[in-house]
Amino acid sequence: MSDLNQHFPLVVRQLRKDRGWSQEHLAEKADLNRSYVGEIERGDAIPSLLTAEKLAQALEINLSTLVAQCEQA
Amino acid sequence: MSDLNQHFPLVVRQLRKDRGWSQEHLAEKADLNRSYVGEIERGDAIPSLLTAEKLAQALEINLSTLVAQCEQA
DNA sequence: CTGTGACTGTCAGTCCGTA
DNA sequence: GTACGGACTGACAGTCACA
């Protein structure tokens, strides 16, 4: 079982870095708190499906694409 | 887009029905509470990413596949 | 008698404001 | 970028009602 929860933080951080964004910029685009984005990227917090979708939208990809990247990581 | 949360309950219920399972049987396979599965299918509860993955595993599909179905619904 | 909806109360964890 | 404290909610156990 590819542990999605382990990969999710890493993939989010990776995609954010690819775009050259700060946590703050991502947080603003996702309509989330900037400290919470930090917790997610560190794996300290597991987001709800709603929050995960906000992050995907902010990263300008489908949530299914984001999840798929976690699965094949 | 924004209505993944609207489709998610319906897709889960659909897939469960396709397999001819009761909420209780799905709950057992997903290691979740029966009444909570009911709440999710009614849209009364929004699952976390972890819970969504448990449901996907119980339904014997990838979470990315499950999410993709919600997006194209 | 099985499957589901609905409503409590409880607790861990998410989420945010502030530093 | 992280750390901390409080508010909010995901998740569960238990129960009753309805088909």
As a whole number of angstroms, the distance between CA A7 and CA A73 comes to 7
* Secondary structure letter of residue A48 according to DSSP: B
Q: Are B46 and A47 inside 8 Å of each other by CB?
A: no
**What are the backbone dihedrals phi and psi of residue A27, each rounded to the nearest 5 degrees, phi first?**
-60, -45
Q: Are B68 and A71 inside 8 Å of each other by CB?
A: no
Question: Rounded mean pLDDT of A20-47?
Answer: 95
Q: Please name every residue paired with B48 in a beta bridge, in sequence order, or none if there are none.
A: A48
Q: In the CATH scheme, what architecture does the domain A3-67 have?
A: Orthogonal Bundle (1.10)
3-state DSSP assignment of residue B48? strand
pLDDT mean across residues, chain B: 92
- Report chain A residues whose CB lies below 8 A from the CB of B57: 1
Q: Is A50 on the interface with B (CB under 8 A)?
A: yes
- Report chain B residues whose CB lies below 8 A from the CB of A47: 48-49
B12-40 pLDDT tens trace: 999 999 999 999 999 999 999 999 999 99
Identity of the residue in B4, B47, B62 whose CB atom sits nearest the CB atom of A71: B62
Is residue B1's pLDDT more than 50? Answer: no
3-state DSSP assignment of residue A1? coil
Is residue A30's pLDDT more than 60? Answer: yes
Whole-model pTM?
0.92
As a whole number of angstroms, the distance between CA A38 and CA A64 comes to 22
Contact predicate A11/A26, CB 8 Å: no
- B62, containing H or E segment: none
Distance (Å) from the C-alpha of residue A26 to the closest C-alpha of chain B? 18
Question: Rounded mean pLDDT of B46-67?
Answer: 95
Is residue A1's pLDDT more than 70? Answer: no
